[in-house]
Amino acid sequence: MLSLVVLASGRGSNFLAIQEAIEAGTLDAKIVLLLSDKPEAKALSIARAHGIPAKAFPPSAFSDQNAYEQALLDEIRQGPCDLIILAGYMKILGAAFIEAAPAPILNIHPSLLPSFPGLHAQRQAVQYGVKVSGCTVHFVDSGLDSGPIIAQRAVPVYGDDNEESLSARILVEEHQLYSEVLRWFAAGRVELDGRIVTITEGSI
């Protein structure tokens, strides 16, 4: 069973979708800890409602980014951790954190990377005028949404879309894709070679 530590800053719908897949018995994993940099994040109350240990970790409580990230690492190291899952975690993790992390770090981003990294990816897509967008689950490296791509799902972009309507369409796919990727990890099917990710054949 995969032990997951989730980092989330806000609404927590991706985190909840993963937890629901676990509760439905379709994902062999356990979320052992939910950490949030925002004490008011809805993700914290979702965690508590589902009996998941949850802690607010406001960066302002620490002297600098390094001290904050060291404390985060100390917290993560308290228990088992096979993967660190960023689910709407809005702070950039420093290279020192990424190097010292006890497990690979995954992120979900609401665009087809490498298009539209960074904030407001859906708004960027609408304003650019692309006809297809989507979401990407990727390994986290020290760049901005630049790590090896594990999986992507595409959605159409319509002429009358705005940031909100496109975000809603993408979010439906995000909720399915993150759990799907975690199933591959749980089955030991994810291989990384350089920046190329291969999903090996699964047994039935």
Nearest residue to ligand GRF on Cβ basis: 88
- Active site residue: 50, 109, 120, 175, which one? 109
Q: How many CB atoms lie within 10 A of CB 162?
A: 11
Residue whose CB is less far from ligand GRF, 2 or 113: 113
Residue whose CB is less far from ligand GRF, 21 or 74: 21
Q: Given 3-state DSSP classes, what are the helix, strand and coil percentages for the chain, each rounded to the nearest 5? A: 35, 25, 40
Catalytic site includes residue 109? yes
Q: Identify whether the C-beta of residue 23 lies closer than 8 Å to the C-beta of residue 42.
A: no
C-beta of 121: minimal distance to ligand GRF in Å? 8
| Dihedral (Cα; 95, 150, 5, 102), 10-degree rounding | -50
Distances (CA, A) of 141 to 65, 92, 93, 150, 195: 17, 10, 9, 13, 10
C-beta of 141: minimal distance to ligand GRF in Å? 16
Binding site for ligand GRF (CB under 6 A): 8, 10-15, 87-88, 108-110, 171, 174
C-beta of 178: minimal distance to ligand GRF in Å? 9
Catalytic residues: 109
